[in-house]
Structures are given as structure tokens and as C-alpha cells.
Structure 1
Amino acid sequence: MSWLTKSWQALARSLEAAHRRLRDRLRPDIRVHMVTERPTQLRPHRLYVTRQADGPAFGFLLCPCGCGETLHLRFFGERRPRWQVRHDARGRASVTPSVWRQAGCRSHFILTSGRVRWC
């Protein structure tokens, strides 16, 4: 492979990475919204969290890939899968462990400080 081809490929990879970083920075953060019951209509960039007496119960958010599916997250009990949710002073959501859809779009991501990090 010639040096010109290698240089062109390296440039293309760099531009793709820069595009991904810029696109991710321009997207709004995902923020926690506490609700008393599951909303009927979900809005993008919001993690709706229902509560029970001893803490968060369930979370609902639109899949960040854009497929339009609602993701259901359980934050309590012994049943798996189960996640933990936190938010900072600005309301930006963090969810652990990663969220991995086993059907549909098969998205796999980590939500940290309101930002989606694709796995």
C-alpha cells in the first residue's frame, strides 16, 4: 500500500472521529425527571424515574439510537437486570451498568453525566 493511500485512510479515520465527537457534544444531555407514574409520552433526552418509599423504582427513556423504542430500567429489588441511577446537581443522569438491548436495534451504551457512550 502506498504512503498516499495510508495517509488518506488515516485522514479519513481522523475526520470520522472528529465528526463523532462534535456530534456528541452538540446533543443535549440526558437529564433525570422524577415522576409519580410512568409517562404516556416520552420526550428525548429525558430519563423519567419513578420512586418508591426507599428510592428510585423504575426508569423510562427513549432509546438514544433514535429507533423510538422505550427502554425500561429497574432500579430496585433482587431481580435482574437491575441498574443504579444517579444524577448530579445539574440533573444529568448516570446509569450503571451499561444498557444493552437484546432485541430490536441492539443498542449498547453507558450513560454517564448525561452523555451516551456507545459500547
Structure 2
Amino acid sequence: MRVLKYFFKWFWSLFRRKNEIDYLFVDDVPDHYANHIVYIVGEGHSWLLSMRCPCGCRRIIKLNTLKDAKPCWKYYIEANKITIQPSVWGVDGCRSHFIIRKGSVKWVDGAGV
């Protein structure tokens, strides 16, 4: 059943608008990433958010969610939409700076596409 759910999320991601982000709970870090999907990694308790950069550069972004380690991000799911806090600011590669709020990418200071 999980494989089927993963397939439909991946298939749907092919037709989504570029600034829309969806999420998927997984037990381990995925081998292959779909665009516009935040993978919430962990068995029982999440410890990592992982995704491709929404600018299109295909870089993999991994965000720690463990409260005892720094830096640490939080995520919320409301009305089936994900919000991630604080913002994500790449220090290498494309150097995108963005916020994911209610399932949409909000670019900071004109960063990204």
C-alpha cells in the first residue's frame, strides 16, 4: 500500500505548479526523490525532512528535526498542507532562500526562481 501511495504522490508531483509542495511520511531516507515533495523521515518520531531544492537545481536538502541538535527545523501539517519553520537558506550551490508555508514556497528577498 505504501508503494502505491508513493507512486501516486510522485505521479501527481509531475503536474503540480512549481511553487506547490506536498509531503510524504517515510521510514528511511529515499533513494530517489520526486520534485515538490518533502519527505518526513522517521519510524514513529520524525528526525529529518528531506527534499529536492524547489528552485529546480535538483540539489537534495536535508533538515534536522531533532530538538537536541542544532540547527533544528519544525514542521506543521494543517488542512493537509505542510509548513516548515524557520526558513531554508542554502549556503552552497544555488543559495536559495525560501519558506514553505501552507504547502507553498515563498521566496525570500527575490531568491530562487
TM-score in same-fold range (> 0.5): yes
CA distances 1:17-68 after superposition (whole Å, capped 9, x unpaired): xxxxxxxx94362111000100000001100011244x32101100001100
Q: Is the 8 A contact 1:32 1:87 kept in 2?
A: no
Unaligned runs of 5+ in 2: 1-15, 109-113
Q: 1:42 aligns with which of 33, 37, 40?
A: 33
Three-state SS of the structure 1 residue aligned to 2:46 is: strand
How many aligned residue pairs are there?
A: 93
Q: Is the 8 A contact 1:98 1:109 kept in 2?
A: yes
% identity of equivalent residues: 31
Unaligned runs of 5+ in 1: 1-24
Which runs of at least 4 in structure 1 moved beyond 4 Å after TM superposition?
none
TM-superposed CA distance for 1:71, in Å, is 0.2
Pair 50,66 (structure 1): closer, same or farther in 2 beyond 3 Å: same
Q: Is the 8 A contact 2:19 2:54 kept in 1?
A: no
Instruction: Tell me whether 1:64 sits opposite 2:54 in the alignment.
Output: yes
Q: Which has the larger radius of gyration?
A: 1
Partners of 1:86 and 1:32 lie apart in 2 by 11
Task: Give the number of the structure whose residues are more often helix, by fraction.
Answer: 1
TM-score by length of structure 1 reads: 0.71
